[in-house]
Structure 1
Amino acid sequence: MSLNLDAITKAVMEAKAKAKRRRFKQTYELIIRFKDFDVKNQANRFNITITLPHPLQGKEPRVCVMATGAMVLAAKEAKADAILTREDIEKLSGNKKEIRKLANSYDYFVATPDLMVLIGRVMGQILGPRNKMPEVVQPNADIKAVIDRLKRSVRVRVKDQPQVMCKVGTEDMDPKQVAENIAAVLDEILKRVRPEQLRNVIIKLTMSSPVSVNPFISR
């Protein structure tokens, strides 16, 4: 089935019209609920990172790079939100409070291969359950491209409820851009869930009432 971008855009605009004005920048949230979907079946559970066509203006994810050698300088030039060297990671050993703080402060972690054993030993018990173990990048990788990709990505995860939720835009974005982000998420979801398993698709701003949308073109 094909996605109806016009219908999605209309729903985005309706959600914005329903939102109360606030002093902070509100975020568009996408909620997809499933039916005939057994979350106890491990085959139905997924945890994926989806790259959006348009970044969340002012609400981009924060990326921490763990690296050695030339990658440290490259990460600085690429404006990583944080950089940890081998020595930094070693200093965290046994300091669960600081590791939890780090885990809560950053959305994505990337690391060079030579640090993965150390990271697993020092931080694995905290990063693992949060699904924040680092993405491995080779020492010669274009770290700026990696950071740019992650800064316009969202994580979508099925846990103990038959639904997924994620941010797909901010109130100052063009509604069509938000709709295109929603379509990108739906495209990835529909690789894992049949269209008829979508109970409802809901779009809302932080302080707006929800708007349901049929994202498909009727035939």
Structure 2
Amino acid sequence: MPKHGKKFMDALKKVDRTVAYDPAEALALVKDMATAKFDETVEVAVKLGVDPRHADQQVRGAVVLPHGTGKTRTVLVFAKGEKAKEAEEAGADFVGAEDMVAKIQQEGWLGFDVAIATPDMMGMVGRLGRILGPRGLMPNPKTGTVTFDIAQAVREVKAGKIEYRVDKAGIIHAPIGKVSFDTTKLVENLRTLIEQLIRVKPAAAKGQYIKGVTVCSTMGPGVKVNYTKITA
């Protein structure tokens, strides 16, 4: 069992682990318990009633949070010609084709947070699967990062688009902002994510779909949220 520091244990005393708090109350508590010297990320864990071992119960996609995540994300776009120009005008940090593929393959360069590609580039980008795949950087149509609407894709990432994917335990982990955010903005970001997860509920998922929601800061303890009130 990992040992927690004094600050963590002191913060833990403020939480009733048997109670599921109202969203605003839970997030205000998370903010109050954040004691690190940096602006901690506020994270959410959503337990879903799905069996990820079955392909028809996978939950994966992306959503634009109304208030962003508080983090500036570096975007690489694989595109040529007019689409490359569109990417640059939309604010992409790096744009290229064969040159970028070679830079990643030969130099091991990974100076970006999100990779976007036009569909015609995927034959070339596919060679990077072993490098980008394990790091979650491979462009994917399910998350909107393989598209001809390059400008829109870049703008969404810059505006606060996050990707989500259910893990082997049936849990979605995602950032919803920083502790410096107003509680209201954190609640709205949380609501947007939960509503999106409800929209993409697999038809094969039976019984209770959302089984639990917990929020925490990077260094703080988790706080249970009454998820029935998130979308109320």
State whether TM-score is above 0.5: yes
Q: What amino acid maps onto 1:86 in structure 2?
A: E
The aligned runs of 1:38-53 (5 Å cut-off) are 38-53=51-66
Which residue of 2 is the match for residue 184 of structure 1? 192
The offset of 1:131, in angstroms, is 4.6
In 1: Cα distance, 2:39 partner to 2:87 partner: 28
In 2: Cα distance, 1:195 partner to 1:60 partner: 38
Contact residue 89 and residue 119 of structure 1 kept, 8 A? yes
Contact residue 16 and residue 205 of structure 1 kept, 8 A? yes
Which residue of 2 is the match for residue 3 of structure 1? none
In 2: Cα distance, 1:106 partner to 1:195 partner: 40
The aligned runs of 1:52-131 (5 Å cut-off) are 52-57=65-70, 59-90=71-102, 92-93=104-105, 95=106, 98=108, 101-102=109-110, 105-120=111-126, 122-131=127-136
The alpha-carbon distance between structure 1 residues 19 and 112, as it changes in their structure 2 partners (threshold 3 A), is: same
In 1: Cα distance, 2:146 partner to 2:165 partner: 20
Contact residue 16 and residue 208 of structure 1 kept, 8 A? no
How large is the Cα RMSD of the aligned pairs? 2.7
| 1:162 maps onto 2:138 in alignment | no
The alpha-carbon distance between structure 1 residues 46 and 54, as it changes in their structure 2 partners (threshold 3 A), is: same
| 1:15 maps onto 2:20 in alignment | no
The offset of 1:7, in angstroms, is 2.5
In 1: Cα distance, 2:206 partner to 2:65 partner: 21
Contact residue 91 and residue 155 of structure 2 kept, 8 A? no
The alpha-carbon distance between structure 1 residues 200 and 86, as it changes in their structure 2 partners (threshold 3 A), is: same
Which residue of 2 is the match for residue 215 of structure 1? 227
Q: What amino acid maps onto 2:164 in structure 1?
A: V
The offset of 1:214, in angstroms, is 0.5
Q: What is the aligned counterpart of 1:199 among 182, 186, 211? A: 211
Structure 2 portions without partners, runs of 5+: 1-20, 140-144
In 2: Cα distance, 1:172 partner to 1:215 partner: 23
Structure 1 portions without partners, runs of 5+: 1-5
Equivalenced residues, count: 201
In 1: Cα distance, 2:130 partner to 2:150 partner: 29
Q: Secondary structure at the match of 1:117?
A: helix
In 1: Cα distance, 2:115 partner to 2:220 partner: 32
With normalisation by structure 1, the TM-score equals 0.79
| 1:25 maps onto 2:51 in alignment | no
Contact residue 30 and residue 168 of structure 1 kept, 8 A? yes
In 1: Cα distance, 2:123 partner to 2:47 partner: 38
The alpha-carbon distance between structure 1 residues 66 and 15, as it changes in their structure 2 partners (threshold 3 A), is: same
Q: What amino acid maps onto 1:123 in structure 2?
A: L
In 2: Cα distance, 1:153 partner to 1:91 partner: 26
How many percent identity over aligned positions?
25
The alpha-carbon distance between structure 1 residues 217 and 115, as it changes in their structure 2 partners (threshold 3 A), is: closer
